[in-house]
Amino acid sequence: MAVSKSNAEEALDLSNELLADLELERIPLSSCIMKAARLARLTGDSEHLSIFEYELSGYPKTPGGVTAEVWALCKAAGRISLQKEEGEEGKEVEKANIRSIAAIEENAETLKLRLSFFQPQPVNISSANPNQYVSAPFRDLKTEGQMAVSYRDERAILAARRSFVYKFALSRHFELRVSSAADNVFEKYRRKIDAYLGALIPDELRRLDSIKDNLDSDNPEDWANAAHSCRRLLQAVADALYPPVDAKVKTSSGKEIKAGKDNYINRLVLFCEDKMKSGVSSEILSSDLRFIGERLDAVFSAVQKGSHAEIEISEAQRFVIHTYLVIGDILELNAEEPRMEAVEHIKS
User: pLDDT tens digits for 113-165?
Assistant: 888 877 665 555 555 566 666 565 566 777 878 888 888 999 999 999 999 99
Distance CA 34, CA 23 (A): 16
Query: What is the extent of the structural domain holding 338?
Result: 201-347
Within this chain, do residues 332 and 243 fall inside the same structural domain, yes or no? yes
pLDDT at position 88: 58
34: nearest Cα among 7, 17, 55, 13: 55
Amino acid at 56: L
Within this chain, do residues 165 and 222 fall inside the same structural domain, yes or no? no
Distance CA 3, CA 5 (A): 6
Beta carbons of 257 and 284 less than 8 angstroms apart: no
Phi-psi group of 334: left, alpha or beta (phi > 0 → left; psi -120 to 50 → alpha; rest → beta): beta
The pLDDT of 197-223, averaged and rounded, is: 81
Within this chain, do residues 284 and 173 fall inside the same structural domain, yes or no? no
Within this chain, do residues 173 and 221 fall inside the same structural domain, yes or no? no
pLDDT at position 5: 56
On the question of pLDDT at 2 being above 60, the answer is: no
In this structure, is residue 310 part of a structural domain?
yes
pLDDT at position 123: 57
In this structure, is residue 292 part of a structural domain?
yes
How many domains does the chain contain in total?
Answer: 2
Within this chain, do residues 223 and 329 fall inside the same structural domain, yes or no? yes
Within this chain, do residues 211 and 330 fall inside the same structural domain, yes or no? yes
In this structure, is residue 254 part of a structural domain?
yes
- When pLDDT is cut at 50, 70 and 90, the band that residue 89 belongs to is low
In this structure, is residue 134 part of a structural domain?
no
pLDDT at position 341: 47
In this structure, is residue 288 part of a structural domain?
yes
- When pLDDT is cut at 50, 70 and 90, the band that residue 340 belongs to is very low
In this structure, is residue 38 part of a structural domain?
yes
The pLDDT of 18-41, averaged and rounded, is: 94
Distances (CA, A) of 190 to 8, 183, 185, 271: 17, 10, 9, 22
The pLDDT of 301-312, averaged and rounded, is: 57
In this structure, is residue 23 part of a structural domain?
yes
196: nearest Cα among 143, 152, 244, 236: 236
Quote the percentage of the chain above a pLDDT of 90: 27
Q: pTM higher than 0.85 for the full model?
A: no
